[in-house]
Structure 1
Amino acid sequence: MDYKSIAKKIIDLKNADLVLRDKLVKSGQLSEGYNEEMKELHNINAKTLNDIIDTIGYPTIDKVGKEANEATWLVIQHSIGQPVFMKKCAELLESAVSENKADPKYLAYLTDRIAVFEDKPQLYGTQFDWDEYGNLSPNLFDHVTKVNERRKAIGLNTLEEQTEIIRKQVKNENQSPPTDFEKRKKEIEEWKKTVGWIK
């Protein structure tokens, strides 16, 4: 198996994603709902990665190296219109983490993202969204003390520190909250039903 060329392919998927994100940030389109071009790219990337996973199993550090392993997680994390694929990957990633072949931080981010889409509280507080006051805040989580304990156990900073970092980042990127918070909230709920995250 030519893991080297597979690793390159995965890194290329990640780079295409980041280039498009950068373009959307610069044009001020990132906060305006789920961009069509981005949605299309995320779905194509997910399909390509799914084919790779079906061929070699989860792209662990020992197979594809650290950079492609991280790129794998980013592609999965962004494949938000593919609930079945994301959940399949979460299981595979859990096994990889238990065998020390992937970073537990990636699993934390992925399980939190799935929880948010399924309207469940997140365990690590890694997922953020605009609140009604126009600030980026963590999505629903179970309990701040427990969240911070879990974060510390896998080498993450506190939720309070992370909130500060995230808010600074969006300010630097000139991102602004949605003009109609309630409308956006409704659109997200509709989208979650359409793609199959919730009934």
Structure 2
Amino acid sequence: MRWKDDLERNLKEKMNYNQIAEKLIDLQNADLALREKLVKSGRLSEGYDEEMKALHNRNAKLLNEIIAVIGYPTVEKVGKEASEAAWLVIQHAIEQPQLMKKCAELLRIEVAKGNAEPKSLAYLYDRIAVFEGKSQLYGTQFDWDENGELSPNAFDDLVEVNKRRSSVGLDTLEEQTALIRANAKKENQQPPKDLEKRRQEVEAWKKKVGWIR
């Protein structure tokens, strides 16, 4: 890919990472702009929108190319805004299980070095766990429940979850739940009309993209 070739050439010439940072922020901005569009049109709650799916996969491909050149985009390399943008792209690369898992390992290494935020890794660990049908550790992932409310996906024990959350700088699960529900109400998000059908569709999607067998 020409963009990647140019990027590699510039880096070999000891160029700084400004170009990469700008690209990452552009990917994030495109993602957020599309989300806002879906919110305004009332399409955000209607399953995985095809336009959003395509954007997420494009962003994931570009991010993977960036990581191949510079490794994980830490704050030290690309700055705080661009590093957070990379994390958002990773969180939304939900049709790329191998990429998400690879990024989780890279991020784990950077957290251990003190180069990344533990709470970023907590969110990514939970997201992967939920897609693999496992209990999450930090309670960061939510979905619609039988009462038409957004509730945390499966976790082991509330007390233990809150201890883990505190250890990485997150508010309590109760506080996050209130915030998630308030934001959903503000955006006029609606639960699926047929919850069981939606759950079956999600399970089929997980198998299709390789999260579960």
| TM-score (normalised: structure 2) | 0.93
CA-CA distance at 1:154 after TM superposition: 1.1
Q: Which one-letter code corresponds to 2:114 in the other structure?
A: N
What is the match of residue 95 of structure 2? 81
Q: Which one-letter code corresponds to 2:126 in the other structure?
A: D
Task: Give the whole-Å Cα distance in 2 for the aligned partners of 1:3 and 1:31.
Answer: 37
1:172 equivalent to 2:186? Answer: yes
Task: Give the whole-Å Cα distance in 1 for the aligned partners of 2:200 and 2:146.
Answer: 13
What is the match of residue 107 of structure 1? 121
Task: Give the whole-Å Cα distance in 1 for the aligned partners of 2:120 and 2:169.
Answer: 12
Task: Give the whole-Å Cα distance in 2 for the aligned partners of 1:98 and 1:29.
Answer: 39
Per-residue CA deviations over 1:122-159 (Å, capped at 9, x if unaligned) read 00000000011100000001111110001011111000
4+ residue segments displaced more than 4 Å? none
Task: Give the whole-Å Cα distance in 2 for the aligned partners of 1:5 and 1:103.
Answer: 23
What is the match of residue 41 of structure 1? 55
Task: Give the whole-Å Cα distance in 1 for the aligned partners of 2:145 and 2:95.
Answer: 22
CA-CA distance at 1:109 after TM superposition: 0.4
Task: Give the whole-Å Cα distance in 1 for the aligned partners of 2:129 and 2:168.
Answer: 18
SS in 1 for 2:188: coil
Q: Which one-letter code corresponds to 1:193 in the other structure?
A: K
SS in 1 for 2:143: strand
Q: Structure 1 residue aligned with 2:38, among 24, 36, 47?
A: 24
| TM-score (normalised: structure 1) | 0.99
Q: Which has the larger radius of gyration?
A: 2
What is the match of residue 93 of structure 1? 107
1:120-159 equivalences under 5 Å are 120-159=134-173
Task: Give the whole-Å Cα distance in 2 for the aligned partners of 1:32 and 1:119.
Answer: 22
Task: Give the whole-Å Cα distance in 2 for the aligned partners of 1:163 and 1:152.
Answer: 15
Q: Percent identity?
A: 68
SS in 2 for 1:137: strand
1:184 equivalent to 2:178? Answer: no
1:12 equivalent to 2:26? Answer: yes
Q: Which one-letter code corresponds to 1:141 in the other structure?
A: F
RMSD: 0.6
CA-CA distance at 1:27 after TM superposition: 0.4
Task: Give the whole-Å Cα distance in 2 for the aligned partners of 1:134 and 1:185.
Answer: 14
Per-residue CA deviations over 1:173-199 (Å, capped at 9, x if unaligned) read 000100110000000000000000000
Task: Give the whole-Å Cα distance in 1 for the aligned partners of 2:145 and 2:33.
Answer: 27
> For this pair of structures, how many residues does the alignment match?
199
